[in-house]
Structure 1
Amino acid sequence: MEIWNNPSCSKCAAARDTLSEAGMTFTLRGYLDTPPTTAELDAVLDRLGAQPWDVCRTGEQAYTVLGMADWTRDADSRPRWLTAMVAHPTLIQRPIVLLDNGTAVVARDQATLDKLIANT
């Protein structure tokens, strides 16, 4: 299991603590320091069953500066979103947990973490 982690994020800390307390082993990926490639982010979105705009942090400065609120949200615009999110990884929602079974979840709440523990 791998967690895309921002050390200063309270949601990431909650995920790390909850999974550790449950005895689960994981590796941390500091995705701000080691951003995903476009192909990696694309694959993670497929694992999540999500589009880039579904996991884009709209409150980030880069979102505003790039004018992403006005960007089209369709299959043709997916590469544009991926490129922006890779160039500005703060735009990627966190924490994303990549499971060994090939699935992934955005683990921002206790219910998701509880379900993750129960199903792993």
Structure 2
Amino acid sequence: MSDVTLLHNPRCSTSRAAQDEITAAGVDADVVQYLKDPLDADQLRALLAKLEDEPTDLVRRDAAFKELGLTDADVATADQVVAVLLEHPRLMQRPVIVKGDRAIIGRPKDRVPAFLAD
């Protein structure tokens, strides 16, 4: 098991860029395609506990978010974020990089090299 985990969507260019940064840094990483293997409630809570970003930032505010009738008020707390992502894993921000007891959302892309080097 590696010290770094990449929560990855291969269809996302930013997620692919993070994977390329990890490879370029020579870091051994576990790659989890979270749409094929969604995180369960405990895994999401553990991720939120490590996340340096606000819990609400883990939820994408894209067209699907709006189509589902969701608002910022629906993802204001960690418990709400977990509930929404359990039901709609595709709304999870990507990429997410976990290193030890810390995690970040890899947006913008320039956050990834600095996080890996830390």
Measured against the shorter chain, the TM-score band is: 0.7 to 0.9
Give 1:59 shift: 0.6
What SS does the corresponding residue of 2:110 show, helix, strand or coil? helix
Task: Report the CA distance between 1:32 and its aligned residue.
Answer: 0.4
Q: Does 1:87 align with 2:105?
A: no
1:36 deviates by: 0.5
Residue in structure 2 matched with residue 8 of structure 1 by the alignment: 11
Match status 1:44 vs 2:80: no
Change in CA separation of 1:22 and 1:114 when aligned onto 2, cut-off 3 Å: same
In the alignment, residue 56 of structure 1 is paired with which amino acid? V
* Displacement of 1:48: 0.6
Structure 2: segments with no counterpart, 5+ residues: none
Paired positions, count: 115
Distance 1:107 1:74 in 2: 21
Report if aligned partners of 1:3, 1:26 keep a CA contact under 8 Å in 2.
yes
Q: CA, structure 1 residues 17+34, in 2 after alignment: closer, same or farther (shift >3 Å)? A: same
CA contact (8 A) 1:6 1:95 kept: yes
- Show the counterpart of 2:112: 113
Give the stretch that moved more between structures: 106-115 or 88-97: 106-115
Tell me the TM-score normalized by structure 1. Answer: 0.83
Q: Percent identity?
A: 27
CA distance in 2, matches of 1:64, 1:45: 23
| Aligned-residue CA RMSD (Å) | 1.9
The separation in 1 between residues aligned to 2:89 and 2:60, in whole angstroms, is: 10
Unaligned runs of 5+ in 1: none
